[in-house]
Amino acid sequence: MTGNEYHFELGESCKQGICDRKMIFCNLHQSDYHRDDPKDHVTECPTCSRFRVVCLDCDKQQNIHQYRLVYVDGSCLGNGRAGARSGIGVAMGVHGENMDQWSIPIDDNVDPFEQRNNTRAEILAVLTGIQKLGEDTRASAASEQAYHRCPCVNGNDSPLRWVIATDSDFVMKGMTEWMPAWKQSAAGAEDKPGVPCCETIFELFQKVDKEMTFWERELGVEIGFWCISRDFNELADSLAKRGARAASAATSISSGWAE
């Protein structure tokens, strides 16, 4: 899907879909992400217990498997200061930690940057959430377990959509506005019109964009972002804080990843 086209999922009366990497709900045509209670848009699959997005204006039992949801969050203790520690929280179901929930301490292998901060943790959480969805979907192809045969994972004959739920407006704008604008401008590395962030943060956005493009091509999946309130992101937030408490401070003097 490109431009401002919508993929209508549940018939001509339903306008739910992913547009310009944003999750647009059936009754939220004007990109009003906060008009309704977000909890009403999410349910759990009775087969695999994964989170999925549903349409409030249509029968919730129709095509419910096509929109997989992952909650992501980042946390930083001592944000931006020397000795700061960061963690990542990712949740795509209710089975529990290391099954469909992850609390990941950020170390120099996860982020080689010389200083921890909350913004980097938030973006790295998005990157990890996308990677976890991809790994789970790919693993299901060779599995005989009913858990992995569920349409939530493999989609069967239906195209898959992944919804990345974040409480960071900065991340939302970065991935749905700044990155697309920069890519369309064909600007050089030193010229990023309309991108109000430093070079090291922009590098993280580029890394997420590269990961998204890989899975979009590999699996034919569509990926969209949904900006939710912090109150609705409590699960990922608690996982991220737990990861931060278990993390160590940065020791690397590197400013980026080796290719």
Measured in residues, the chain has a length of 259
Both structure tokens of 21: 């990497």
Q: What is the pLDDT of residues 93-151, one digit of tens each?
A: 998 888 899 999 999 999 999 889 999 999 999 999 999 999 988 887 666 554 555 65
pTM of this prediction? 0.83
Whether 154 shows a pLDDT value over 50: the answer reads yes
d(CA 197, CA 203): 10
What local confidence, expressed as pLDDT, does residue 121 receive?
A: 97
Report the percent of the chain where pLDDT is more than 90. Answer: 43
What local confidence, expressed as pLDDT, does residue 199 receive?
A: 81
What local confidence, expressed as pLDDT, does residue 49 receive?
A: 83
Q: What is the DSSP string of 12-67?
A: TT---EEETTEEE-TT-TT--TTSS-GGGGEEE-TTT-BEEE--TTS-TTSSGGGE
Q: What is the pLDDT of residues 81-100, one digit of tens each?
A: 889 999 999 999 998 888 89
Which residues share a beta bridge with 41?
none
When mean pLDDT is compared over 61-65, 90-94, 248-252, the highest value belongs to: 90-94
Mean pLDDT, the chain, whole residue set: 79
Determine the average pLDDT of the residues in 73-83. 93
d(CA 79, CA 63): 42
Whether 167 shows a pLDDT value over 60: the answer reads yes
Class of domain 17-245: alpha beta
Select from 136, 141, 150 the least CA-distant residue to 70: 136
d(CA 45, CA 64): 8
When mean pLDDT is compared over 11-25, 68-82, 180-194, 241-255, the highest value belongs to: 68-82
